[in-house]
């Protein structure tokens, strides 16, 4: 059997999507020893790249060169690793189609089910084609029960065509030693007495403004606490809040960081706050727990599936007072800190590569056998 994984253009894939593609491309072949498992993505084809500006080149590679390349693809199974890339299917010939759906955020926003920023017309057209192709696929992998339920209920796809295979926790995230943590704390937090972090872009569903408001309420009781946010500068709403809140000088925004730096960042922090409005999976809480950082998050989307009983959770992401109280507990109660860390280490074992790679290999066999 020949299987082909299709991933995103390296210039415009999200970090989590690129990581998902790279992991499965490198590790799945050993789980399917009698198969030929290959991988490809736009920008990796052997066609000569045009000598144009970077953005124009990316568009040409993505929407002209890549579709032409796809018409030549021949494989028993083609695995498209993200719901936003399923438009690839329109250019593929014969072969079974397996799709990984991480979330339906864009579709649900366009349908008015999530109150987030409006989806531009061009994006809506692409989403519509992706949904059409998802419905035509032979089998679907969902990364959480939450996402699977939405695929089932919103797209009308029968449960027999859906398998839940959670995301795999990368093996490069694990606790710092005592010496490493001391050095990392000085590096990232300047030895702040209490270091609270948030990891995530300023996407509306991430609710970074909610994290800031919760920290500000907690700051009134713990003025020595400091907050550090990774993934870029504050947006307009966040900047306006920082100018008027009491904790503005205690909050620092940092640019995106590398994987090794991310391990330091999580491992040196006292708590991650993650009051997301919706998550198809929710990487930061899982990553934080793997590094020994206690988590305060909401239960929206799949977050409760990911953290289980290993975090302090609040149902309403707009309940800033409850988020602030939970955060204060995590920072002040040593027994709770130790308990959450221990629970977190146990929880992340559910996302070990060996177990989940075997499940994905089974899905490949199932899809090729006509199920």
pLDDT number for residue 91: 96
**Are 285 and 323 members of one domain?**
yes
**Are 99 and 227 members of one domain?**
no
- 106-154: per-residue pLDDT in tens? 999 999 898 888 888 888 999 999 999 999 999 999 999 999 999 999 9
Q: Is the pLDDT confidence value at 12 over 90?
A: no
Residue 45: band (very low, low, confident or very high) from pLDDT cuts 50, 70, 90: low
pLDDT number for residue 50: 46
**Are 223 and 266 members of one domain?**
yes
Tokens standing for 361? 């290999």
**Are 320 and 360 members of one domain?**
no
pTM of the predicted structure, to 2 decimals: 0.93
Q: Is the pLDDT confidence value at 52 over 60?
A: no
User: What angle, rounded to 10 degrees, do the helices at 145-155 and 121-136 form?
Assistant: 90
Q: How many CB atoms lie within 10 A of CB 184?
A: 19
Return the CATH number at 251.
Answer: 3.40.50.2000
Residue 15: band (very low, low, confident or very high) from pLDDT cuts 50, 70, 90: confident
Q: How many residues does the chain have?
A: 371
pLDDT number for residue 120: 85
Give a yes or no: residue 342 inside a domain. Answer: yes
**Are 140 and 101 members of one domain?**
yes
- 165-196: per-residue pLDDT in tens? 999 998 999 999 999 999 999 999 998 999 99
pLDDT number for residue 350: 96
> 156 in the Ramachandran plot: left (φ > 0), alpha (ψ -120 to 50) or beta?
left
**Are 118 and 207 members of one domain?**
no
- 345-354: per-residue pLDDT in tens? 999 999 999 8
**Are 80 and 158 members of one domain?**
yes
| Distance between CA atoms of residues 221 and 229, nearest Å | 21
Give a yes or no: residue 173 inside a domain. Answer: no
Structural domain count of the chain:
2
| C-beta separation of 272 from 293 below 8 A | yes
- Name the residue range of residue 25's domain: 2-168+352-368
Distance linking the first and last C-alpha atoms of the chain:
16
Q: Which H or E run includes 51?
A: none
pLDDT number for residue 44: 78
DSSP assignment of 110-175: HTTSS--PPPPHHHHHHHHHHHHHHHHSSEEEESSHHHHHHHHHHH---GGGEEE-PPPPPTT--P
């Amino acid at each position: 059997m020949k299987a082909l994984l299709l991933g995103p253009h390296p210039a415009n894939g999200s970090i989590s999507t690129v990581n998902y593609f790279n992991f499965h491309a490198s590790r799945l072949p050993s789980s399917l020893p009698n198969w030929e498992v290959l991988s490809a993505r736009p920008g990796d084809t052997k066609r000569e790249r045009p000598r144009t500006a970077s953005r124009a080149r990316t568009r040409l590679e993505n929407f002209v060169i890549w579709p032409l390349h796809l018409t030549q693809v021949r494989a028993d199974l083609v695995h498209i690793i993200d719901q936003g890339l399923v438009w690839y299917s329109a250019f593929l010939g014969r072969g079974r189609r397996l799709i990984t759906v991480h979330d339906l955020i864009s579709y649900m926003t366009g349908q008015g089910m999530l109150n987030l920023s409006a989806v531009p017309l061009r994006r809506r057209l692409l989403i519509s084609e992706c949904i059409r192709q998802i419905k035509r696929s032979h089998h679907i992998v969902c990364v959480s029960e939450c996402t699977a339920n939405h695929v089932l209920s919103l797209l009308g796809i029968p449960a027999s065509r859906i398998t839940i295979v959670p995301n795999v926790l990368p093996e490069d995230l694990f606790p710092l030693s005592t010496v490493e943590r001391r050095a990392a704390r000085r590096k990232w937090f300047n030895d702040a007495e209490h270091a609270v972090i948030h990891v995530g872009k300023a996407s509306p569903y991430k609710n970074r403004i909610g994290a800031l408001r919760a920290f500000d309420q907690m700051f009134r009781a713990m003025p020595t606490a400091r907050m550090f946010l990774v993934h870029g500068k504050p947006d307009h709403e966040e900047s306006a809040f920082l100018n008027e809140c009491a904790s503005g000088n205690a909050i620092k925004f940092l640019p995106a960081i590398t994987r090794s730096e991310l391990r330091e960042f999580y491992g040196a922090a006292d708590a991650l706050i993650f009051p997301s409005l919706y998550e198809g999976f929710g990487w930061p809480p899982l990553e934080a727990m793997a590094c020994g950082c206690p988590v305060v998050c909401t239960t929206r989307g799949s977050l409760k599936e990911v953290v289980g009983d290993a975090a302090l959770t609040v149902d309403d992401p707009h309940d800033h007072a409850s988020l602030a109280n939970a955060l204060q507990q995590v920072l002040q109660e040593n027994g709770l800190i130790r308990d959450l860390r221990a629970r977190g280490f146990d929880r992340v074992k559910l996302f070990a590569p060996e177990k989940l790679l075997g499940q994905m290999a089974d899905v490949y066999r199932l899809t090729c056998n006509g199920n």
